[in-house]
Structure 1
């Protein structure tokens, strides 16, 4: 109905959602404001459409609950004939993301926004031509393939074993598990290694607070203090019953969201604390290769002589999130356990992606690609630091990251971050507030210099500056 009146288009849209089962009985439909924004009309037009649907007996307004679907379009079946999906959704084991995180995830697919939040490389840095060559080579040499062995494609694990030696980690292919990104690695650990009621110690702030990987499995998150050298082990408060019910998670290289690089001394202190208190460590090292000024210290896993560290790596930040390839390195009994759970979950990561990843490593082109990425990230970081000094000096404080994607900004004037977020989004700018990372004190935001173009980075930061001045005035 492209030429029908707007209110008729809204009616047809809602009827199709109901008829197709996308909005079953009991569903709360979008607010009048959301519908008005979606169809670019005023609210009176939306109200006209809703009144007609109410008259048809399809929806009704309920005090305190919004507007609810009460019948379906083709037979007006009684409500009890349709499953109450809301109860199933509420009863699910995995906790939903926070509302703000859901909004950000949706907004990050909106190409019209200036993406100051996105934690991935710009399309400009994606090696499209080389990736095409890799895939063509894999396709040319490809035989019929089915499910891989539980730990993953052996040539990829062999290539990773060699690659890991370059950062001081000596791991045989049998102690490496291929996973579909770092997030799956954490999910497998939550399911297979920890029991409900366990404590997960972690940096605070941390991107894990924006997820519910461990909380959904009934675990308690215990945030730890950080300084300019990283997580502070003396802030860990162990109790006697934690000996088999606690684990430490840390993101030591260019931490998300703060960009902090953990010092060599601090890594040694954390490892010593781990050994003293029998506390296992999850070392999430997905940003390691994105150093700008100098290579980071060796991983804790490289210093681990007692099998206390589970090490996570990934191609998602350095190459392509769409490849969906990451890895876990750990003691063989742990890897066996996690590989069994992975087989129960998805029967293995993509065979094609694993072969392409192996080709990147064995060809030597991955290291060349990383050199180019580091050069471009340095240009982008320095550009953004210049813009920040020009536009936000006196309005915000920040540290210079030595690598990674992010600059952690502390906003100095007293402003409402919720209002700043909403005003920025209305002007086409998306940033991540510090609150979603568990930052409880002060007003912070995470700014990414990796994805948006330099032109958009300057435009976005300039407009942020204007909004902060307006809101604090």
Structure 2
């Protein structure tokens, strides 16, 4: 749903359509809607402004008559002038052509809608993959930040790899996972997403292939696509990525494998110990580097997952990604890459070219966080809360969606991968749910051929809101399935 940070005043003596006309004219005058750009559709404007569509149409007709807008049939309405260009002969730049020319591809329309809608007040977010505000460790972080004033003597830029005391703490943390990593082999990044961006720009040639699980979180990102990298998906089973498809590959330069072996996003699958051994063996045979995205590892609920792939990697085949976004706070924007030192030097140099280093304040805070042993203390609480949330949601699913969806019980992480049984349009379900104030991530954002799936998260919303949302979703599925096809 399109969002606008202004609303017409129904108590004003000025008619609503004139208020809307004035608002839109100001957007054009200020250059926020530049010449050549397409404005939101009539339906989007009416919904965002809370008015009848006819009111919006009247405002648009006035602006068209003033020479500022031009109707373009099915392609919508475009800004063709601004008040200043009408008074002079100067033509402003065609920003729309610049927008189309950028090399980094835009998100899929569905993902854009999700990103724009999830912060809308009252929206029930069934798929949001972050910890609930109730899990925010306010007392512990209060202690951390309270101690920083006496510890930090400067907030200047850090060295290319990141703050050394934090990398020393992470070296100890990784050692506890069975990963021998010196501070020199660790790079601090602004979350795992930036790690993938750096890898796509610094290690992979355009035209190369990134092998992923199918479905995969990577399929919802255009990071690699925009760098000219092709994605090739391999099917999964209950033990993780299937090795058979990998075994049929021949060695090929500049190709990599991306995997989320622990509490996979979006399916929640945990790669078995046996499969991890087989996967590494095949990757060693193919000389195929591995990107191991392990940001969910510590969120186990029933038992810890098998050791990371990186813990079995004496040859430096694996680049290991970690983050505190899923465990402590996404707002800290801090993650790390562990790998061979030449690779870390290359990626550190590239990071310095793009943002000159992650937040010093966040890095000092996390140094204190790990030094004081708060990480394990916090994780113990998080696991208790998430375990109860998962069990509650499983009860809700059984109550509301039994017969219209099937699912696996996740052993950790945030997600339950729902398969919708009735043969309905997932796009229609997505649209109807939005109209009812319910937002979910359809399976197609993780795999273009993803089929009738929904990624459900039990980590963010409260139990009451989840129960209401799932009951409403079940009703919409039954409503759509009852329509003649």
Question: What TM-score range do you get, normalising by the shorter chain?
Answer: over 0.9
Q: Does the residue aligned with 1:347 lie in a helix, a strand or coil?
A: coil
Residue 223 of structure 1: how far off its partner (Å): 0.3
1:270 equivalent in alignment to 2:273: no
1:310 matched to 2:327? The reply is: no
Superposition deviation, residue 120 in structure 1: 0.2
Counterpart residue number, 1:374: 383
Which secondary structure does the structure 1 equivalent of 2:454 belong to? strand
Partner of residue 102 from structure 2, selected from 83, 88, 92? 92
C-alpha distance in 2 between matches for 1:52 and 1:167:
65
- For 1:55, which of 56, 62, 65 is the aligned residue? 65
Of 455, 470, 473, which residue of structure 1 is paired with 2:479? 470
1:351, 1:244 → 2: CA distance?
37
Whether the aligned pair in 2 keeps the contact of 1:197 and 1:245 (CA below 8 Å) is: no
Q: 1:404 aligns with which of 384, 400, 413?
A: 413
Matched residue, 1:31: 41
Choose 311-320 or 54-63, whichever is displaced more: 54-63
- Separation in structure 2 between the aligned mates of residue 38 and residue 348 of structure 1, nearest angstrom: 38
Q: 1:337-391 deviations in whole A, cap 9, x for unaligned? A: 0000000010000000100111111110111000100000000000000111111
Give the 5 Å matches for 1:94-113.
94-113=104-123
Distance 1:171 1:77, change over 3 A: farther
Quickly say closer, same or farther: Cα 1:80–1:102, change in 2 above 3 A: farther
- 2:183 is aligned with 1:173: yes
SS at match of 1:203: strand
* Pairing partner for 2:50 from 20, 40, 46: 40
Contact 1:161 1:171 in 2 (8 A): yes
For each residue in 1:318-350, what CA deviation from the matched residue of structure 2 results, as whole angstroms up to 9, or x when unmatched?
Answer: 110100000000000000000000000100000
**Where does 1:106-145 land on structure 2 (aligned, <5 Å)?**
106-145=116-155
Residue 75 (structure 1) shift: 4.5
Alpha-carbon distance in 1 for matches of 2:88, 2:389: 59
Change in Cα spacing, 1:221 to 1:237, as seen in structure 2 (3 Å) is: farther
Q: Distance in 2 between matches of 1:19 and 1:7?
A: 18
Q: Distance in 2 between matches of 1:359 and 1:232?
A: 41
Per the alignment, residue 192 of structure 1 pairs with 202
Instruction: Name whichever of 389-398 and 151-160 sits farther off.
Output: 389-398
Q: Note closer, same or farther for the CA distance 1:417–1:141 as it changes in structure 2 (3 Å cut).
A: same
Q: Which moved more, 1:62-71 or 1:72-81?
A: 72-81
Residue 300 in structure 1 maps to residue 309 in structure 2: yes
Candidates 364, 369, 377, aligned match of 2:373:
364
Aligned partner of 1:201 in structure 2 is 211
d(CA) in 2 for partners of 1:329, 1:395: 43
1:230 aligns with 240
Deviations along 1:83-139, one digit per CA (max 9) or x if unpaired, are: 111111111111100000000011111231111010000001111222222112112
Which residue does the alignment assign to 2:442?
433
Residue pairs, 1:238-249, within 5 angstroms? 240=250, 243-249=252-258
- Which segment drifts farther, 300-309 or 42-51? 42-51
Q: Could you give the per-residue CA deviations for residues 213-234 of structure 1, whole angstroms, max 9, x where no partner exists?
A: 1111101100001000001122
Deviation string for 1:50-87 (max 9, x for gaps)? 11111211111123431111111234266862111111
For residues 150 and 420 of structure 1, the distance between their equivalents in structure 2, rounded to whole angstroms, comes to 47
**Partner residue, 1:19:** 29
Matches within 5 A, 1:421-460: 421-438=430-447, 440=449, 442-460=451-469
Gaps of 5+ in 1: none
2:4 match: none
Is the Cα contact below 8 Å between 1:434 and 1:443 reproduced in 2? Answer: yes
Q: Supply the distance in 2 between the matched residues of 1:81 and 1:238 (Cα, whole angstroms).
A: 58
1:358 and 1:155 map into 2 onto residues whose CA distance is 6
Q: Does 1:321 align with 2:324?
A: no
CA distance in 2, matches of 1:291, 1:35: 44
- Structure 2 residue runs of 5 or longer lacking an equivalent are 1-7
The separation in 2 between residues aligned to 1:174 and 1:413, in whole angstroms, is 53
3-state DSSP class of the match of 1:389? helix
Is 1:336 aligned to residue 345 of structure 2? yes
The Cα shift of 1:238 comes to: 5.9
Q: Does structure 2 retain, via aligned residues, the 8 Å contact 1:204–1:439?
A: no
Q: CA RMSD in A?
A: 1.4
Does the C-alpha gap of structure 1 residues 189 and 183 become closer, same or farther in structure 2, counting only changes over 3 Å? Answer: same
Q: Shift of the alpha carbon at 1:441?
A: 5.0
Task: Indicate the larger mover: 88-97 or 310-319.
Answer: 88-97
| Contact 1:70-1:79 at 8 Å conserved across structures | no
Corresponding residue number in structure 2 for 1:68: 78
Q: Is the CA contact 2:443–2:450 (under 8 Å) kept in the aligned structure 1?
A: no
Find the residue that maps to 1:353 and give its secondary structure: helix
1:7 maps to which residue? 17
